[in-house]
Structure 1
Amino acid sequence: MSSLLSQYGWNSHFEQHYTHFFNQGLEAGRVTAINGFNHTIITNNGPSAALLAGTLTNSKETWELPKVGDWVVFKPYDDQCIIIDVLPRQNAISRKLPGKSSQQQVIAANIDAALIIQGLDRDFNLQRLQRYLQQIYQCRIQPVIVLNKQDLVDDPEVYRQQVLALGYNCPVLLTNALDHQQLSDWTSHYLQPRKTFALLGSSGVGKSTLFNALSGTDIQKEGSVSTFNSKGKHTTTARHLVMLPNGSMLIDSPGMREFGLTIDEDEGVNFHHPQIEELSAKCRFRDCTHQQEPGCAVIAAVEEGTLSTTVYRNYLKLIREQYHYQASIMEKKRMEQQFGKLSKQINALRKKRKY
């Protein structure tokens, strides 16, 4: 594969799955932007506009269609490309669609680490942060917590210590998106060449400002904070993957007021927290729910004060949400099976009656 695609993260995983398509005469590229039905991909010859093949859109679920960060196979057609298929993902950042739907929405694919942004003015919220961390770990992606707007509070280190007290094994950085020297200091350490990083966070936390500062461009429009409710305004409406000056890649995403949890069907309901995972092994019962069982090491740690009450209470809330999501998925599958059975019966009846 060309050095250009290697710079954009092409590796042995994608090479292995590409062999079959290479033999069909298809080329490979990575999705760098999506705006409506219009896609931009990076190819051996540079960036190109692309559209989805009809067979692809008709054969895939919405979450399976190309997202920013995906590697795809395509064939050139006039001055654009036609995307034929998506290479298997290494991972993907997803969330449950807002509302009552049990469907998942893929935000970005093939991510090395997620930068979870919280603003220290009004957005700082430990429970919301745990929600992001739970989902990011569920997606098998390394989180990095970035506490932005440190210049707006008297003692930003107090906030950083509160995050560290949650007990997650991940970096916690203080920054000011307008301080370019400070950004340069920590990005040179955490953002490695040929690696892909995604920015996540609510509206108004400074994601677009941070994105523009790191990329050296004004791809994303910078918004303000509403004077009516002190909540951030949506400024990012399309997702982009941009190559940073140091050779790393950054994906921005629209601010999310809801970040619903999903679960991996193979893994099932689980809570990703180092201390809870360690304590669970000491519980009397292997299937302990850590709520009322005797001999529960997690409950004992809460009572002794060695496990944060904030972490434990949020654990109960997020676990219940995951069980609800799992139940919705199982009900959806049951309905699909019933529909499939009914369709077979109707088809058999039509053949029998010849109409």
Structure 2
Amino acid sequence: MSTLQSYGWNDHFMHHFETHALQHLEAARVLSIQGFKHVLITGTGIIEAQVAGALINSREPEAYPKVGDWVLVKCYEEEGIIIDTLPRINELSRKAPGTTNTRQVLAANIDAAFIVQGLDRDFNLMRLQRYLQQIVQCNIQPIVILNKADLVADAETYRQQVLELGYNCAVVLTSAIDPTQQIEWTSQYLLPQHTYILLGSSGVGKSTLLNSLLGYTLQQEGATSSANSKGKHTTTARHLVLLPNGSMIIDAPGMREFGVTGEGGGEGNFHPLIEELAPQCRFSDCTHQHEPGCAIIAAVNNGTLPEIVYRSYLKLLREQSHYQSNEADKRRKERQFTKMAKQVFKHRKDRKY
């Protein structure tokens, strides 16, 4: 197996790469990004590269090379210039933190996302549903990892609460400090030549899990603040590493915010339990909030749809609608500016100044 194949190279990327074969470019995968420096794996090894100015000037920030991307690079001895990015299979994104209404791409070409929550103080169903909603809409398979299961009396009750959210995903109970438990779940969910990402808040044990999977310390394990019992950041940048079993994992910094954007152009109705019940509503354009004959409201009232799922769904739907309306307004203004710029250019050309 070639180096590129071991890092996930497949027919999808080969097909797009062949159209650039005459440009004497090499294919590489982005392992990490440190400022302007991109660390890449090529067919001959690891190199550092920078993004070509032409690529930066012609793309939106979301399309810049991210960790997990496959890129075309012009190599000069031990350094390179990234000329282009091959089309992505998918991309994991979120609304950028803060008040700005922009989308942030976290990583690309991911087979599954591990959402890690700690059962000591981090467990939060509504936050978990936020992760699940966005990840599913990004066309990525979620897998929930409930860490620190050894610290609670009945860990199975937590697993059942996650299953009741209704998402079609595995829920794993584990303790990152127990190697035997790591072997049990990783043998089933970590497949060679597949790419995964670790997500979750600071202090849930992501670095401990990764160090256990690697067999050596890549990240220092973080302490927990005595003031608020919250974890401290130990991972400061996303990076892709190859595990001993041939799978790859991207370790992401702890995230306090994980805003939804509504990927794929949908209208927010991505929750499996909502999707299952929606066809039974009296009106096809039912908003599931106040209409008579709403099957969703009826399910909440009779207890077949958990109220926490419904309340979280409505909150995420409002956030998503707000994001998409602002995004549409931003694109409208960009079109107006482009039209105005073309008119000015034509006017100057006609008058030759």
Q: Give, in angstroms, the shift of residue 286 of structure 1.
A: 1.6
3-state SS, counterpart of residue 287 of structure 2 = coil
Provide the rounded CA distance (Å) in 2 between the counterparts of 1:221 and 1:87.
33
Q: Does 1:288 align with 2:291?
A: no
Provide the rounded CA distance (Å) in 2 between the counterparts of 1:217 and 1:239.
18
Give the letter aligned to residue 230 of structure 2: K
Give the letter aligned to residue 114 of structure 1: A
Q: Identify the residue that residue 124 of structure 2 maps to in structure 1.
A: 125
Kindly report which structure 2 residues correspond to 1:140-159, keeping only aligned pairs within 5 A, or say none: 140-159=139-158
Give the letter aligned to residue 3 of structure 2: L
Instruction: State the Cα deviation string for residues 159-178 of structure 1 (Å, max 9, x = none).
Output: 11111122221100011111
Provide the rounded CA distance (Å) in 1 between the counterparts of 2:115 and 2:147.
10
3-state SS, counterpart of residue 23 of structure 1 = helix
Provide the rounded CA distance (Å) in 1 between the counterparts of 2:210 and 2:244.
12
Q: Give, in angstroms, the shift of residue 353 of structure 1.
A: 4.8
Give the letter aligned to residue 279 of structure 1: L
Q: Identify the residue that residue 198 of structure 1 maps to in structure 2.
A: 197
Q: Give, in angstroms, the shift of residue 100 of structure 1.
A: 2.1
Provide the rounded CA distance (Å) in 2 between the counterparts of 1:71 and 1:14.
8
Provide the rounded CA distance (Å) in 2 between the counterparts of 1:297 and 1:75.
57
Structure 1: which 5+ runs fail to align? Answer: none
Find 1:301's aligned residue among 275, 299, 302: 299
Q: Identify the residue that residue 347 of structure 1 maps to in structure 2.
A: 345
Provide the rounded CA distance (Å) in 2 between the counterparts of 1:43 and 1:351.
46
Q: Identify the residue that residue 188 of structure 2 maps to in structure 1.
A: 189
Provide the rounded CA distance (Å) in 2 between the counterparts of 1:23 and 1:263.
38
Q: Identify the residue that residue 33 of structure 1 maps to in structure 2.
A: 32
Provide the rounded CA distance (Å) in 2 between the counterparts of 1:27 and 1:313.
49
3-state SS, counterpart of residue 265 of structure 2 = coil
Kindly report which structure 2 residues correspond to 1:183-332, keeping only aligned pairs within 5 A, or say none: 183-264=182-263, 266-332=264-330
Q: Give, in angstroms, the shift of residue 348 of structure 1.
A: 3.7
Instruction: State the Cα deviation string for residues 41-95 of structure 1 (Å, max 9, x = none).
Output: 1111122222211211221211111111111111111311211111000001111
Instruction: State the Cα deviation string for residues 114-134 of structure 1 (Å, max 9, x = none).
Output: 000001111100000000000
Equivalent residue pairs, number:
353
Q: Give, in angstroms, the shift of residue 350 of structure 1.
A: 3.1
Aligned partners of 1:35 and 1:239 also within 8 Å: no
Provide the rounded CA distance (Å) in 1 between the counterparts of 2:113 and 2:242.
16
Q: Identify the residue that residue 335 of structure 2 maps to in structure 1.
A: 337
Q: Identify the residue that residue 134 of structure 2 maps to in structure 1.
A: 135
Provide the rounded CA distance (Å) in 2 between the counterparts of 1:196 and 1:341.
42
3-state SS, counterpart of residue 322 of structure 1 = helix
Q: Identify the residue that residue 75 of structure 1 maps to in structure 2.
A: 74
Percent identity for Structure 1 against Structure 2: 62
Q: Which 10-residue stretch deviates more, 335-344 or 36-45?
A: 335-344
Provide the rounded CA distance (Å) in 2 between the counterparts of 1:241 and 1:190.
17
Provide the rounded CA distance (Å) in 2 between the counterparts of 1:351 and 1:54.
27
Q: Which 10-residue stretch deviates more, 35-44 or 213-222?
A: 213-222
Say if 1:156 and 1:117 are closer, same or farther in 2 by CA, change over 3 A.
Answer: same
Q: Which 10-residue stretch deviates more, 337-346 or 116-125?
A: 337-346
Q: Give, in angstroms, the shift of residue 23 of structure 1.
A: 2.4
Q: Give, in angstroms, the shift of residue 102 of structure 1.
A: 1.9
3-state SS, counterpart of residue 235 of structure 2 = coil
Q: Give, in angstroms, the shift of residue 352 of structure 1.
A: 4.9
Q: Give, in angstroms, the shift of residue 290 of structure 1.
A: 0.7
Q: Give, in angstroms, the shift of residue 354 of structure 1.
A: 4.2
3-state SS, counterpart of residue 281 of structure 1 = helix
Provide the rounded CA distance (Å) in 1 between the counterparts of 2:83 and 2:218.
28
Kindly report which structure 2 residues correspond to 1:96-111, keeping only aligned pairs within 5 A, or say none: 96-111=95-110
3-state SS, counterpart of residue 114 of structure 1 = strand
3-state SS, counterpart of residue 84 of structure 2 = strand
Give the letter aligned to residue 32 of structure 2: A
Provide the rounded CA distance (Å) in 1 between the counterparts of 2:6 and 2:239.
17
Aligned partners of 1:134 and 1:271 also within 8 Å: no
Q: Which 10-residue stretch deviates more, 68-77 or 155-164?
A: 155-164
Q: Give, in angstroms, the shift of residue 237 of structure 1.
A: 0.9
Provide the rounded CA distance (Å) in 1 between the counterparts of 2:291 and 2:154.
41
Kindly report which structure 2 residues correspond to 1:43-82, keeping only aligned pairs within 5 A, or say none: 43-82=42-81
Provide the rounded CA distance (Å) in 2 between the counterparts of 1:5 and 1:352.
53
Instruction: State the Cα deviation string for residues 293-338 of structure 1 (Å, max 9, x = none).
Output: 1221111111111001000011110000110011011110111122
Structure 2: which 5+ runs fail to align? Answer: none
Provide the rounded CA distance (Å) in 2 between the counterparts of 1:34 and 1:212.
20
